[in-house]
Structure 1
Amino acid sequence: MAPTPFTPNPPSTPTQVSSMPAKKKEPYPFWLGGVAATIAASITHPLDLTKVRLQASGDTRMLSSLQKTIRTAGIRGLYDGISGTWMRQMSYSMCRFWAYEESKKMLDATSPAAPAWKLGLAGSMAGGIAGLVGNPGEIVMVRLQGDFAKPPEKRFNYKHCFDALFRMVREEGTSSLARGVGPNVFRAVLMNASQLASYDFFKASLLATPYFDDNIYCHFTASFAAGTVATTVCSPADVLKSRIMNASGPGSSSTISTIRSALSTEGPLFIFKGWVPAWMRLQPTTILIFLTLEQLKRGVDWVRA
């Protein structure tokens, strides 16, 4: 009887591993940007206070303005209007970070390779929205910070941010909440297009090189560059905003009249008045905002994991 020929076993079919689709990463809480901005602004408040007083008063030098504040109100005077800063950050800044992320989704600009023009457009859209939403908080912050730079008879003498808000509505009408909204929205568009978009752009550019990883050194470098860009781009609108919001009386909120008056008395370079304190304030603020925001995001990732 002939032996049965040996038939090799057919190659085994690879086991089909049922792979679940990768879970889509949850978005970060919308309030992270507001918290990061509030922490940063609290640290740099004395510099922001000095910048506003340089722009809105007759002070000409940063150090002399700081000395004047300490001489007239003590060390605590460097934190005049801190409640207005908190109100502004938790309205304007929270809104702008949320709107920026949503705008990037709409424009399909969430990937690291997103073109700069899409990032800039997303930042501009976010700035327009946040500038409108945060305008009352912006006015309150500017008035609280600039009050002690004025003669006693011209001060608002608000107790805190909510007192300022209620008194503005009661004494000046609801329309006072929209004072300076044009320059404020314009500045917000410039700020977000130059700060948020440039941070994402610089960060992606650094990560594309072999010298940087996604760590604190990369975040610091990108935020330093973004702060310098944002200060220069936003200076003209920032000066106009501070002067208009600090003004009182009929006709004093006109952008055109403010520009004409400043041009006739100070010349065209008035739009860069306070650039150094603005840079010294915005630079550490920008760095602190993004470093804090990145760490908050890592904290959220850790909790979720």
Structure 2
Amino acid sequence: MPKSTSTSYPFWLGGVAASMAACCTHPLDLAKVRMQTLKHQPGVKPNTITILRATIVESGFRSIYTGISASILRQMSYSLVRIGAYEKVKAHLSRDGRPSTGKLLLGAMAAGGIGGVAGNPADVLLVRMTSDTLRPPEQRFNYSNALTGLVSLVRSEGLGGLFKGVGTNTFRAILMNGSQVCSYDLFKSSLLGSRIPVIDYEIRDNLLLHTLASCLAGTVATTVCAPADVMRSRIMSQSGGASPIEIFTHSLQKEGPRFLFKGWTPAFVRLGPNTVLLFVFFEQLKKGWSTLTS
């Protein structure tokens, strides 16, 4: 792990960085959710480009930002809590020296679980808003934005509707924080001080290091989280009372075990850049905060 500093960062800083990243990658998130929730059709293999193209042709360019309000709400709940809590845990563990990888991983997973619960309502809204046009008109939710969507969700499904799929979502959040945030720190510490032989360059704590570490972390996170991500999207997009086991069994029978990695490519295309932007923005915000408070 990189050496800790005495600088204390605001708990919300990670949420702001994640929101900035989400604004850049939201169209990719929309494509990923739509791929995961599309009904299986033999011989039809939608991809990120075809989904985004069809969305633009059908509803105009602005439609690829459908659900952006829910995305920002998600980052300012889910990511704010998971990153903020991890930073606090990491600072606490670092007081007596460099913490072990196991302790950091457990801390990251615990922080991710808390963030998953905190961000579940926004996650439900995001999945529904980005996949709504795939439904028949009479079955659409028609949320105009995240706030009105929250009100409509509670009115139609009660408070329980806010936590639809919370078990799967929390499990995914645990995997995400462990595989993304913790692995970023591990890759960052491993790469720091190493040399690139072709150009004889020593990697320092700069933009190059942050980009390389976050690219590797994004690859790990996409692969680890793919099955839980698919299940989460399918559970949250349902308005009926099908259980996760029923959804899993039905999908497995219809599509085979490969359905668990359906949408991996758009998930990586989205999560890779999102992870890079998240940590680049986060590192820059931390540097800016240190400058302001020094």
Q: Do they superpose with TM above 0.5?
A: yes
Of 197, 200, 203, the residue aligned with 2:185 is: 200
Give the total of aligned pairs. Answer: 279
Residue type matched to 2:150 in 1?
A: L
Greater Cα offset, 109-118 or 255-264: 109-118
Letter in 2 for 1:81: G
Deviates more, 1:229-238 or 1:143-152: 143-152
Deviation (angstroms), 1:109: 4.4
- Structure 2 gap ranges (5+): 40-44, 196-201
TM-score when normalising by structure 2:
0.91
Deviation at residue 57 of structure 1 after TM alignment: 1.4
Q: Aligned letter for 2:290?
A: D
Distance (Å, rounded) in 2 between the aligned partners of 1:291 and 1:55: 28
Shift of 1:112: 8.7
Q: 1:32 aligns with which of 10, 13, 16?
A: 13
Secondary structure class of the residue paired with 1:148: helix
Separation (CA, whole Å) in 1 of partners of 2:130 and 2:204: 39
- Aligned CA RMSD, in angstroms, stands at 1.5
CA deviation after TM superposition for structure 1 residue 271, in Å: 0.3
Instruction: Tell me the distance in 1 between the aligned counterparts of 2:180 and 2:77.
Output: 18
Bigger mean CA offset, 142-151 vs 57-66: 57-66
| SS of equivalent residue, structure 1 residue 44 | helix
Q: Residue 209 of structure 2: which of 193, 218, 221 is its match?
A: 218
Scaled by the length of structure 1, what TM-score is found? 0.88
C-alpha contact (below 8 Å) 2:7/2:290 kept by paired residues: no
Change (3 A) 1:184 1:109: farther
Where is the helix percentage greater, Structure 1 or Structure 2? 2
- 1:64 corresponds to which of 35, 50, 55: 50
- Correspondences of 1:9-28 after superposition (within 5 Å): 25-28=6-9
Q: Structure 2 CA distance, aligned partners of 1:39 and 1:48? A: 14
Equivalences for 1:1-305 in 2 at 5 Å?
25-58=6-39, 60-106=46-92, 108-109=93-94, 113-210=98-195, 211-249=202-240, 251-252=241-242, 254-305=243-294
Identity of aligned residues (%): 49
Question: Are 1:103 and 1:125, in contact at CA under 8 Å, matched by a contact in 2?
Answer: no
User: 2: distance between equivalents of 1:92 and 1:61?
Assistant: 27
Q: Report which structure shows greater RCO (CA 8 Å, sep ≥6).
A: 2
Deviation of 1:25 (Å)? 2.3
Q: Which amino acid counterpart does residue 13 of structure 2 have in structure 1?
A: L
8 Å Cα contact 2:11/2:85 also seen in 1: no
Matched residue type, 1:103? V
**1:26 positional shift:** 3.5
Deviation at 1:104, TM superposition (A): 2.2
Q: Which amino acid aligns with 1:205?
A: S
